Structure 1
């Protein structure tokens, strides 16, 4: 017997998204009548049969919204892989009565995106669950609170706000990330015999993954009485040009750092570019953060010494699955805050990690 035809198969045949096929076949709004007709015709021609036993687990379909930073531009280095985790979850549940809507936002646009979701709830739209990025300001936090009060189940990603009425949170172990980076930094400096002039790109102090990683880095050195003079250089996605200028200035100075560490992905890319533009590539030790095509290439070419890998794909998948399992089956996570593993990547094993990350 031939394998059962799935919505994924129909989507591939027509060159459309799985979500489009789902809306067309289930009579949901969001697709034109011409597209709906094409999808239904292709489904019939391919012999598609909807999994009614799975879709009838609840009387009504479950509507999920994934609200995360956009995967393009500054989000291509890290957030792209959060969305990949969401993709993997969506493909698993497409025949289970779950409809997923994606809401992406750019730098500074999170509160606006949440406000639009809140307005939809106020006019009676049904949203069962929200996979949301951990908020970094009061307005976004307030809006998430209002959305929770409206009856939406919220699962946070890449950070946590325990005071919010959320189901739970999925995040990397930032304490381990900072400590691991500091330990490897100490190994590199000791092995090279260099003076310990260290520059730490600390990112955004209001972003959990940045702040907590940087704090753990400093705590590791302090607890072990490692007498380095570490210079912190703050600035994240909205300050890329300023970061580039400051890095080039420091790398061109007589007392340039022997070691540079970055706690976030965009900072890692800025470091690589600055090293190349100043002719210091391969002459300064670098521990970057997050694995993406550009950072993997920098590691292979000797521009980076190591990369701290936090597996954002699994992080987002885990959060989405927790939300889906709760709404489908009523399964409450035994541990509200789920922390993913953090690992150190070397040039010798980068290919394996790239394969795991889908790079």
Structure 2
């Protein structure tokens, strides 16, 4: 059975946005006659047939709920920006985001509070949920399964709820992030005395970063001299750096595998150790760029949080409207950022 042609196929064929193709096919205004004719001719040539399910759904607003268990103000904000970009692109399809409370702290919240917020979003009449679960909780798995039984699908982002009925897990490639971090530090500091700072080992994504980092070091016959958990708190990272330097004065490199690296950089700067201790961190923010510019940070591994949000929304939309089931695991590969290219990844 041949694959049904969608507006995305037409948009790819013509190098037009899906929104433009949709507006042309629907006779919407602000589309030139030339473009409309080209879209209609291409649709006929490719064998496009309007999806009646999509037509019925778009008569009323499609609501996609967004809930975070712990809002990490830099990383999570970039995810939200990616989501909002996707929602804006889908505006003509009558799609909107329904956000849960984004004022929760970066540390994992009380499970009951998170589930209460999740159910508030569900009760607003959403058609699907995008959920960042942070830690693995049995209660989250149970709730996702109950929602699936009610016909409300869930996509998890960043961290996961294994053994649940979520339809997809969209996240950065944690093992590759750790692997690249280890390789960069090996080039910057060939003595092998490198440490890794991570948020929480129990977070699926963070454990993947540790695995990638240690596996790469082991290939060179080394292990990290220390692994510190900071709970993604800059103040904890600051004091953990002080402890690292006291316990392991020979340390020559630090990989900060989460978005909160300013505490580490602050301590290294205060002690005047920029030349001795090389730092590789994750994600591009004004704070990390400042430390990149003054040579405290040598390189940044950008995990593309914007893409995480954008892909999650578009995957949910395609599932709700077209019935297209996304891949169970959607991995987004990181980018290496240095002084010469950080502006490309700095999200305004």
Contact 2:86 2:310 in 1 (8 A): yes
2:337 is aligned with 1:352: no
Unaligned stretches of 5+ residues in structure 2: 1-28, 31-51
Q: Name the CA distance, whole Å, in 1 between partners of 2:265 and 2:291.
A: 7
Q: Name the CA distance, whole Å, in 1 between partners of 2:242 and 2:291.
A: 17
Equivalent residue in structure 2 for 1:258, among 252, 255, 265: 252
**SS of aligned partner of 2:222:** coil
2:333 is aligned with 1:338: no
User: For 1:246-297, what per-residue CA distance to the aligned partner results, in whole angstroms no more than 9, with x for missing partners?
Assistant: 212433678241111111011x121111112222234310001111111112
Q: Name the CA distance, whole Å, in 2 between partners of 1:219 and 1:157.
A: 24
2:209 is aligned with 1:208: no
1:198 paired residue number: 194
Unaligned stretches of 5+ residues in structure 1: 1-46
After superposition, where does 1:145-160 map in structure 2 within 5 Å?
Answer: 145-160=145-160
1:319 paired residue number: 312
Q: 1:154 to 1:289 in 2, by over 3 A?
A: same
| Per-residue deviation, 1:242 | 3.2
Contact 2:70 2:109 in 1 (8 A): no
2:92 paired residue number: 95
Contact 2:65 2:121 in 1 (8 A): no
Aligned length: 293
Contact 2:136 2:161 in 1 (8 A): no
Q: Name the CA distance, whole Å, in 2 between partners of 1:256 and 1:284.
A: 9
**SS of aligned partner of 1:236:** coil
**SS of aligned partner of 1:67:** strand
| Per-residue deviation, 1:102 | 0.8
| Per-residue deviation, 1:59 | 4.4
After superposition, where does 1:72-151 map in structure 2 within 5 Å?
Answer: 75-103=72-100, 104=102, 105-106=104-105, 107-109=107-109, 111=111, 112-118=113-119, 126-138=125-137, 139-151=139-151
Contact 1:198 1:230 in 2 (8 A): yes
2:178 is aligned with 1:178: yes
Q: Name the CA distance, whole Å, in 1 between partners of 2:185 and 2:305.
A: 23
What do you get for the CA RMSD once the two structures are aligned? 2.6
Normalising by structure 1, we get a TM-score of 0.74
Contact 1:181 1:287 in 2 (8 A): yes
